[in-house]
Amino acid sequence: MYCGVSFSPPQAKIDRAIRLRYQPPLRLSQKLGKILTGEAFDSARRHTRAIVRNRRFPARITTGAIIKSIDARRFEEIRRKYAVDDPGDAPPKYLDLEHWIRTNLQRVRELGLDYTPRSRILDLGCGAGYFLYINKLLGHEILGLDLDDLPMFRELIELLQIPRTIARIEAFQPLPKVDRKFDIITAYLICFNNHKSDKLWGPAEWDYFLSDAAGHLAQNGRLWLELNREYDGSYYTPELKAFFEQRGAELHSYRVVFNPGTLAPSEAAPVGR
């Protein structure tokens, strides 16, 4: 209710309003200092890398461009030789070129490899080699590691000209020695942990593997693992989950990611590393 009494704002509020009204605008550097923090900083850094990267690759790499770079006649010869109706989880499923190139391009982007400077990449269980092939197109130095028991994979690796070390990854056995360290070690749809068997790796086997892998990483290197689902629908037991977290991993469903500086050898490190 209006009572005929007027109120004046305190002098402090008046002074503050005057200061805000006539305060000079923030310089660009000041604005950037306020904006570029946390996620905003990471986003800005990624966009800067994109600009630099696109000077080398004017058009962003696409699934279609990658497929066009592959010898279509030779790929079709391989496809006709090994393709089957409804392959399910059998190796011929990897002959669906569009699907698997798109899948592996997404993997490349999740790792930021479409923008990062030239990196050394080791892919464990490299299979058909699509992931490494895309990285080769992007200018990275690549190496695959896998068995040589599937002629279809062998022919695809030869077609894509992927350098590959033939070796089996086994519990409590070191990875083959190579003459370099890697910025990124990846392993997708992992089976070397005795997937879907009664000898599935537990913390002891994984501890040895992680300690060994740490010896193959360059300073600030990353290890990116993606597990297969087991018979019970899980990717790891509660015990293994706790172990991965204790070793410094970030867990995202089937992903076990060791970011730069988080993976260090433990007491299980192989002798001589």
Identity of the residue numbered 210: L
DSSP conformation class of 78? H
pLDDT, tens digit (0-9, with 9 covering 90-100), for 188-246 = 999 999 999 999 999 999 999 999 999 999 999 999 999 999 999 999 999 999 999 99
The pTM for the full model equals: 0.78
Cβ neighbors of 57 (< 8 A, separation 6 or more) are 138
pLDDT, tens digit (0-9, with 9 covering 90-100), for 136-154 = 999 999 999 999 999 999 9
The answer to whether residues 266 and 210 touch, using CB atoms and an 8 Å cutoff, is yes
CA distance 8 to 14: 10
Q: Which two tokens stand for residue 52?
A: 């630099």
The answer to whether residues 154 and 148 touch, using CB atoms and an 8 Å cutoff, is yes
Beta bridge partners of 186: 123, 224
Is residue 103 exposed (0-12), middle (13-18) or buried (19+ Cβ within 10 Å)?
middle
CA distance 273 to 270: 6
Q: Which two tokens stand for residue 219?
A: 């300073």
- Does the structure show a pLDDT above 70 at 76? yes
The answer to whether residues 214 and 255 touch, using CB atoms and an 8 Å cutoff, is no
Q: Which H or E element spans position 164? A: strand 164-166
